[in-house]
């Protein structure tokens, strides 16, 4: 196994990881900013107010995008396993 092949495999794994996690993290960022703006406008500083909307939004995104995420992970794993004989030897 050459160093270039290892780097390519690592890059592909990181790309799949970023593509899967980006929607959930971006929703958490947007909801967090919206709640922070709401807290700044109303001067309401309740700690639980920041966590509950984020958790609910992230859960909703996970429910909506879970089939796509699973397909992406399965495609990557399938490609990795089918090309495994090319990597050994």
- Please report the pLDDT score of residue 20 as a whole number: 96
- Please report the pLDDT score of residue 77 as a whole number: 95
Under 8 Å between Cβ of 65 and 50: no
* Closest residue by Cα to residue 32 from 64, 60, 11, 56: 56
Under 8 Å between Cβ of 31 and 61: no
- Please report the pLDDT score of residue 84 as a whole number: 87
List the chain domain ranges. Answer: 18-78
Under 8 Å between Cβ of 72 and 16: yes
Q: Is the dihedral of CA 66, 70, 73, 79 positive or negative?
A: negative
Please give the chain's pLDDT, 89 residues, in tens.
788 888 999 999 999 999 999 999 999 999 999 999 998 898 888 877 888 999 999 999 999 999 999 999 999 999 999 988 887 76
């Amino acid at each position: 196994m050459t160093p270039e092949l290892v780097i390519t495999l690592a890059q592909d794994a990181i790309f799949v990881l970023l593509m899967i996690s980006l929607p959930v993290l971006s929703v958490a960022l947007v909801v967090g900013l919206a709640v922070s703006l709401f807290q700044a406008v109303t001067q309401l500083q309740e700690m639980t107010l920041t966590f509950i909307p984020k958790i609910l939004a992230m859960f909703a995104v996970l429910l909506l995008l879970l089939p796509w995420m699973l397909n992406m992970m399965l495609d990557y794993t399938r490609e990795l396993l089918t090309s495994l004989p090319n990597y050994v030897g």
